[in-house]
Structures are given as structure tokens and as C-alpha cells.
Amino acid sequence: MDLLEYQGKQLFGRHGLAVSDGKAVTTVDDAVAAANEIGYPVVVKAQVLMGGRGKAGGVKLASNEEEAREHATNILGLDIKGHITRTLWIEHASDIATEYYASVLLDRSAKKPLVMFSTEGGVEIETVAEETPEKLIKENVDPLVGLTREQAIGIATKGGADADVIEGVADALVALYEVWIEEDASLAEINPLIVTPDRQVKALDAKVSLDGNAAFRHPDHADLGDKANLDPIEVQAAEQDVVYVKLDGNIGILGNGAGLVMSTLDVVAQHGGSPANFLDAGGGSDAEKVKQAVQIILSNENVKAVLFNIFGGITRCDEVANGLVAAFADLKPTVPFVVRLDGTNDVLGREILEKAALPNVYAEKTMDSAAAKVVELAKESR
């Protein structure tokens, strides 16, 4: 789960990282009131899950009430690469002497946390990594030891931080690492990590992604994320414990088990089709779950045909077939379904489907023929 900047900053603050105090608001009047209370100059910042807000006009300095009102009016509702701004963060503007970059993430190949630091902050770090890779310091951390102050000082020194702020940068890195570990983040990034003219080190921006698999350890995280901009279908899927990822094609994919669904996407693509989603109903899918999954798929209006790919292990194909029959009775889909049932009770499952004589349902024996069929059907119905 990705956090909005201000939510990330609040987590930072709890772990001792310096951030500016501020206020999250959703109306122009509240923005102006917050700015008056905080004191000018303030910075008015769009809260969307998208980087490059500054360039897109979503970060503006205001030196008085009039400017605060003007910026809040312009930024609320602003579309930043498809993300509509519904929340503003107002904070006291900082003076900037230098902009650095710092992050902690998981290095999957090393199977260790990775700390990155650069004095080239404020710009896109991908550009630094490409054009001047020597200016981006990367160091793995031993997860059993954690990021010690000594290692952090070494990173800041190697990265070329100004001598008088080496300790301040090291403290920020240690705090950022603590955020990453204790909040179960997969990414904790500060760009820019600034040095003020009076030589304080401070996080001016925050990009934090939390690991959803650890959500149960953090009941206090439940309200975080960009709740106002969630895809309603994804919300419904999450409530029903179904893994659903929206893609931009026109073939609805439903399977049980992430591995099966992923290979189904591949086989459909190989046949020239374009999946509209990734939907994993999970192991042990029963009739009710199948019905919910069908409903989720059909609520995406781009879907022109559905491929149902079930491999029965714990999941019983007869249960799945019953779920499909119930879903058809309830939802009366108008798009064709291709169904491939294999594994536990597959013969019985196909019998159930045959007996129900569902309109527009095609049973296929193999994954390959099912994919070919669904691609053909999706083409026809365009």
C-alpha cells in the first residue's frame, strides 16, 4: 500500500526524522485557515500517489493569504498524471541550502535491505542512476544487525554529504531504516532530504510503501493510503479477500492460484489477446467465492470475454461449476465465457455446466485451446 506524502511524513516524525509540521485539508477554505495558522510562507502540496508533483504544478509556495487561496484553488482537483488531487498538505515552507536523496528498500537479489544515498537530490533518482551512477551510493545492510550509526556515517561520507552534516544525514538514514523495519515498509524514500541554511537535515518529501502482508501487525495503518482515489472494484475485491489487479485489455481472467493466473495471462497474450485483469480467487474457492469473482470481473465494462481457468486441487471443480451456474442466474452476463475445468471432480463439474446449458459458455479441455477460444471471442465481440 502506497502512502500519501503527509502520511509518510507522519510516520517519519514518529521515528525521529525531522519533518515540517503541517495540516491535511480537503477544501480551499480549510487550506487558507491552515496556512494562516501555520504562518507564511507555506507550501501547498497536492497529495496524490504520483511523483513529479512539483513539475506538474502540484507544489506551490505561498507568501500570503491571497496566494495560499490561489494555489489551493488551482491544486485541488488538479489531475496529476491521472490522479485527481482531493487532499492538500499545507506546511511551513523550509529554506533550502542543499537537496539530497535517501531511501531504504529491499534488495531482492541480495536478500537484504538496501540503503541508497545521493547528494543529487530533488531530481529524478533514475536519471542520477543512469547518468552519474557514481553519485548514487548503494549499501546493503545486514538485517540481523540493522543499520548502525557507523555504517550510516560511512554511507553519508562516501556519498559526499557536506562535512558538517554527516552526522545529521547519518541520523536521518538510521531513522529511515527504523521506519522501514518497524512499519514493515517495502520502500521508504526521501527526495529531497534537505539541509537548511542553519544546517538542519530534514525530510521535505516522503514516499512510503507498506507491505500489505504485514497489515495485521499494524492496525494503526488501516486508514492510510489514498482512500479517495481507490478503484471501487479493487476495494470490493479486497473486502472479499480476492486478489484483483486491473489491467487495460478486454479479456477477463479468473483462476485459482497466483501461478495459474499468471501463466493464463501469458498464454492469452501468446494467442494475441489482452487481459483486462488478474483475478485470483485463491485455493479452496467455493461457489459463493466464484460468484463474487464473476461479479467483480463483469463490473469492468471493458471486458468482452471471460476466461475461467480452474485447476482443481483443494478447489473442487463441481463447486466452481455450481458457483458459475449461480452467478449466471444472478448476474445474467452478456459476454461469452470460456471455461476450462481440470483436476478434482472436473468430470462432475463439466456435467453440471452441461446440464445447466448456460448461454454463451464454451467448455474447453486445455488451457491452450481455452486461451485461443477466448481471444477469438473477444475479437468477434468488438
Q: Which of 49, 45, 59 is nearest to 83 (CA)?
A: 49
Is 178 labeled as catalytic in the residue annotation?
no
Q: Please state, in angstroms and rounded to a whole number, the distance separating the CA atoms of residues 188 and 175.
A: 10
Question: For residue 75, which amino acid is it?
Answer: I
Nearer to ligand GDP, 81 or 227 (CB): 81
Among 54, 160, 282, 343, which residue sits at the site for ligand GDP (rule: CB under 6 A)?
54
State the residue for C-alpha cell 458457483: 323
Q: Identify what 83 binds: Mn ion, ligand GDP, none; CB under 5 to 8 Å per kind.
A: none
Q: At 161, is the secondary structure helix, strand, or coil?
A: coil
Residue from the set 6, 17, 44, 53 that interacts with ligand GDP by CB under 6 A: 53
Residue 205 annotated as lining a ligand binding site: yes
Q: Is residue 315 part of an annotated ligand binding site?
A: yes
- Work out whether 62 is an interface residue with ligand GDP (CB under 6 A): no
Interface pattern 158-197 for ligand GDP (x via CB under 6 A): ---------------------------------xx-----
Angle (nearest 5°) at CA 146 between 143 and 150: 135
Cell of 45: 502540496
Q: Is residue 342 part of an annotated ligand binding site?
A: no
Q: Are 35 and 75 in contact (CB under 8 A)?
A: no
Per this entry, what is the length of the chain?
A: 382
- Smallest gap from Cβ 8 to ligand GDP, in A, equals 10
User: Among residues 191, 256, 292, 315, which is the contact residue for Mn ion, using CB under 5 A?
Assistant: 191
Q: Is 189 a catalytic residue?
A: yes
In whole angstroms, how close is the CB of 134 to ligand GDP at the nearest point?
22
Distances, alpha carbon 367 to alpha carbons 268, 324, 338, 348, 362, in Å: 9, 18, 10, 18, 13
Residue indicated by cell numbers 477554505:
29
- Tell me if 91 contacts Mn ion by CB under 5 A: no
Question: Is-contact 348 317, C-beta < 8 A?
Answer: yes
Residue 274 counted as an annotated binding residue: no
Catalytic residue among 6, 100, 101, 244: 101
What is the secondary structure of 111-154 as a DSSP string?
Answer: TEEEEEEES--SS-HHHHHHH-GGGEEEEE--TTT---HHHHHH
Binding-residue total with Mn ion (CB under 5 A) = 2
Output 13 or 51, the one with its CB closest to ligand GDP: 51
Q: Cβ closer to Mn ion: 191 or 250?
A: 191
Which of the stretches 88-96, 171-179, 232-240, 255-263 binds ligand GDP when contact is defined by CB under 6 A? 88-96
Residue 162: count other Cβ atoms within 10 Å of its Cβ: 16
H-assigned helices in the chain:
5-14, 28-38, 65-75, 125-131, 149-159, 166-182, 232-239, 258-270, 287-298, 317-331, 346-356, 367-380
Q: Is 108 annotated as a binding residue?
A: no
Say whether 94 counts as a known binding-site residue: yes
CB closer to Mn ion out of 226 and 319: 226
Q: Which residues participate in catalysis according to the annotation?
A: 101, 189
Residue positions forming the annotated binding site for ATP: 45, 52-54, 91, 94, 99
Instruction: By CB under 6 A, name the binding residues for ligand GDP.
Output: 43, 51-54, 59, 93-94, 96, 122, 191-192, 204-205
Residue ranges at the known binding site for Mg(2+): 191, 205
Binding residues for Mn ion, per CB under 5 A? 191, 205
